[in-house]
Amino acid sequence: MKELFFLSGLPRSGSTLLSCILDQNPDIHAEGNSGVCQLMWETQTNVNKNQQLLANKKFQIAYDLVQAIPSIYYYDVIKDIVVDKCRSWTLPDNMRLIEKYITKTPKIIVMIRPCIEIISSYAKLMQDNNRTENIEQMMLEPLSEPLMRSYDGVMFAKKYNEGQFIFVNYNDLVSKTKETIDNIYKHCGWISFKHDFDNVVNNHPEDDSFYNLIGMHDVAPTIFKRQFNIKLSNETITKCAELDEAMFA
């Protein structure tokens, strides 16, 4: 029986890098963005309004269908530990999914990064892909993806943390990698493993053409922080400062 752990948090905050590092461990499977959360949510929604299941009091079947999704999704994984990556896991409704169908005592890694760096990174990515959308406005709209909805999940996790969450700052991951990985292992209760931080490989690359953002999940063999010469508006800088002050308080 595979043991599930969860990787969530903000976009452009190092979750792909972290997954690649963790996946070096022969006991840990960590891949790209997972469909497990969305599949469980949609299945639960559908079975809860299925007239035939309700009329025949097939409540256990409805429960079992949702509960089986992680096992079905990772049926071909032979490793004992799975780190399931989805930015939405920290949202309240999805936390209830975990506690109802997977485990009452989850361990969740929450990636964070200053919002100004996240938007700058996205702006550079859009620029490299010849996309002309106003990324600053798009990302700072309330409940918008990929930033603000994830941000709400991070703030929920900070408010209701009772030991299930560990917050990992992107800047610590790239500058204090071993210490950061050791803290994650301690939080999750894993046996220590010597990772190779000079030979990072993405064993489970996503097709970024699906997102129309080529390079979004690229990972370099060696760990370093990319620098972007991106000019953002004063309004964006001010808003990001407000968000960061609350997040890092």
Q: Say how many domains are in the chain.
A: 1
Report the share of the chain in percent with pLDDT over 90.
91
Mean pLDDT, the chain, rounded, equals 95
Would you state the pLDDT for residue 54?
A: 86
Sort 142 into a burial class: Cβ within 10 Å, 0-12 / 13-18 / 19+. Answer: exposed
The rounded distance, in Å, linking the Cα atoms of 181 and 208 is 26
Which CATH number fits the domain that encloses residue 160? 3.40.50.300
Structural domain span for residue 213: 3-247
Q: Is the CB of residue 164 less than 8 Å from the CB of residue 101? A: no
Model confidence pTM above 0.85: yes
Q: Tell me the pLDDT tens digit for each residue of 130-173.
A: 999 888 888 999 989 899 999 999 999 999 999 999 999 999 99
DSSP 78: -
